[in-house]
Structure 1
Amino acid sequence: MDLALDGLHPLPVPIPYPMKYVNLVLIEGDGLVLVDTALDLPDARHAIERGLAERGARPGDLDAVVLTHHHPDHYGLAGWFESQGVPVYMLDVAIERDHGWWSRFEPWLEQSTAHFREHGMPEAFIADLREVMEATHRRIRPPQNPRPLTDGEDVQLAGQRFTVHWTPGHADGHLVLLRDDGTLIAGDAILDRITPNVGKWVGSRPDPLGDFLRSLEKIRGLEPRQALVGHYGPVLEDVDARAREIERHHKDRLRFLADRLARGPRTAWELSLELFPQEGLSTAQRRFAWAETLAHLVHLQHLGRVRALPETPVRFELVG
């Protein structure tokens, strides 16, 4: 796929998730830079190699790889590129907070297990989930020496000028890149057919949903004329309208949870089964549903509308 984006080339790469593809971006000009990678799987490597070959390049010819965030479908092949001499860049916040998910996996897995248990996950589900997380870890090659970018920094990527913006919420260290002409490389900060997952994970910032809503406001304030997004799309034309639609979606979910808590205290796990009642969700999808429910409950807590009871598993109740 090659759209008329003046040196920006969306590159869809297959992933074994419901979205089917992750959209990488090749920046071409005075050199060649890749934004995001994919999982470390043969199909993904082959798709990237084909996309680069269309531009007369091989993976080792890239000047840099820039990662919007640390989630596996955007980060998994970063170490593969680094092993071929390509420098890998992430936001400094992501290096400090998120990179350790995969570079120090075992401690994170044990801390996550305790977090799952604290917020009501059944033991049998936790056992299945640990297997899923370990399988995902085997599909990831973390970079050994990621290089930092900072919020507000102006960078030259393949001879094109971009400004780095920190947009936490979907991930603590998520970044977007705004080109001088108003084109936004958005990663998963905003999507056009699904809403980015916003979860409260072990060690994450105190109020991920609050972060995410502020990031949507920040993106609107940048007034991008279009955005290249991480899934579906790949081009989102009316960024402002989509951001407002996603904001309304989360307000509806907050109202739903407050209504359910009016009936009595509940755990995040119990409420996730009502907020996401779909049958047939995979173990990973059910984990995302739980984490997003918990993020909404924590946001209500930060607003002073909900409190967490001092018990395990934690139950939340309305204030007043």
Structure 2
Amino acid sequence: MAGAIQLSHQVATGIFAIPVPIPYPFKYVNCYLLMPGPGSSDGPVLVDCALDTAEARAGLEAALREHGLGFGDLERLIVTHHHPDHYGLAGLIEAQGPTVWMLDVELERGHVFWTEPERMNQMGQALFHQHGVTDEYLADLGQEMTKTRSRVHPAQNPQTFRDGETLRLAGIPYRVVWTPGHADGHAMLLREADGVLLAGDQILERISPNIGIWAYSYPNPLKHYFESLEKTTALGASLALPGHYRPILDVAGRAAELKAHHHERLGYLLDLLKPTPQTCWQVSLELFPGNLNLAQRRFAWSETLAHLEYLVAEGRIKRLEQDGIVHYSR
């Protein structure tokens, strides 16, 4: 139709980006459709799938229709990590036929967040309380998480791949690259034939991905993220296709910028800390000042905690517990 808005666009040979609207500050998540070449016996593959809102589902379905496809025509859904904007529709898509795949680590450490909600909620509340989050904030948090969980349909029979494994997707080999930090089981996919990297949220164009500690995550995710940035650089990728914002041409340069950003934040955090012990909640209000909404404040707290624990592991600050509440000091 003349003048119709194109809902997907080609970003590399055989790869189409589908920006799907999401109700978060990012505004869109990039899902990627991998289309097999002429004569191939392989089916199309979707990488990531947004979350279940009416707008997101309709947007993703409309973009697939541009290629004559519905969810049932996909051969696989590959999930880079378990966060709701990348995983939410997985169970609904799986029910229409495609198999859902994720890194083996993410099945054990991320997928479980959605399949055991009661245990995860209890663990999360305990961690928030341990690090000084106020009762007033905790009361609102439960309602927010209930809304998020209503938008996520975990896969019922997810399949797994391993770090370093080669997957044949839409007729082309891709190498799995495990990059913990943003999520314990975060995975990228490298098309070694031309260096195109499906990067998930490992590197983003305009901002840093959230590197935070959660009740079910590794205890020092920032250390993992620094290591993952080195791993990303060593790939020699020619183009990174990220989960949000635009493609990245200088992959090594962007990885270096992200590493420098977090070291700068560590230095700023050290300057904020006082000889008098403070909770992570108190420190996060100074590190991330301003009128943040509930979700933003939660991410600010988790990122502050990741940076504090990194400094503890490096022996640069002290961690002590008083009456069940953790405090930090110079």
Would you say same fold, with TM above 0.5? yes
**Runs of 4 or more off by more than 3 Å in structure 1?**
none
Separation in structure 2 between the aligned mates of residue 246 and residue 215 of structure 1, nearest angstrom: 11
Residue 285 of structure 1 is aligned with which of 272, 287, 296?
Answer: 296
The answer for the alignment partner of 2:28 in structure 1 is 21
Separation in structure 2 between the aligned mates of residue 305 and residue 2 of structure 1, nearest angstrom: 47
Residue 38 of structure 1 is aligned with which of 43, 50, 75?
Answer: 50
Task: Please list, as runs of the form range in 1=range in 2, the aligned pairs for 1:144-293 lying within 5 A after superposition.
Answer: 144-180=156-192, 181-233=194-246, 235-279=247-291, 281-293=292-304
Letter in 2 for 1:193: R
Separation in structure 2 between the aligned mates of residue 48 and residue 297 of structure 1, nearest angstrom: 39
Percent identical among aligned pairs is 50
Alpha carbons of structure 1 residues 49 and 171: separation in structure 2 relative to 1, 3 Å: same
Separation in structure 2 between the aligned mates of residue 131 and residue 50 of structure 1, nearest angstrom: 31
Separation in structure 1 between the aligned mates of residue 145 and residue 16 of structure 2, nearest angstrom: 31
Q: CA RMSD in A?
A: 1.0
Structure 2 length normalisation: TM-score? 0.94
Residue 14 of structure 2 is aligned with which of 7, 22, 29?
Answer: 7
Separation in structure 2 between the aligned mates of residue 238 and residue 38 of structure 1, nearest angstrom: 26
Q: Deviations over 1:200-240 (max 9, x none)?
A: 1002112100001110110000011110011111x111111
Which stretch has the larger CA shift, 309-318 or 106-115?
A: 309-318
Task: Name stretches of at least 5 consecutive residues in structure 2 with no aligned partner.
Answer: 1-7, 37-41
Q: Deviations over 1:42-62 (max 9, x none)?
A: 111111111111111111010
Shift of 1:263: 4.1
Kindly indicate whether the alpha-carbon contact (under 8 Å) linking 2:15 and 2:34 is maintained by their aligned counterparts in 1. Answer: yes
Letter in 1 for 2:115: S
Separation in structure 2 between the aligned mates of residue 88 and residue 303 of structure 1, nearest angstrom: 39
Alpha carbons of structure 1 residues 122 and 33: separation in structure 2 relative to 1, 3 Å: same
Separation in structure 2 between the aligned mates of residue 80 and residue 307 of structure 1, nearest angstrom: 46
Shift of 1:282: 1.1
Structure 1 length normalisation: TM-score? 0.97
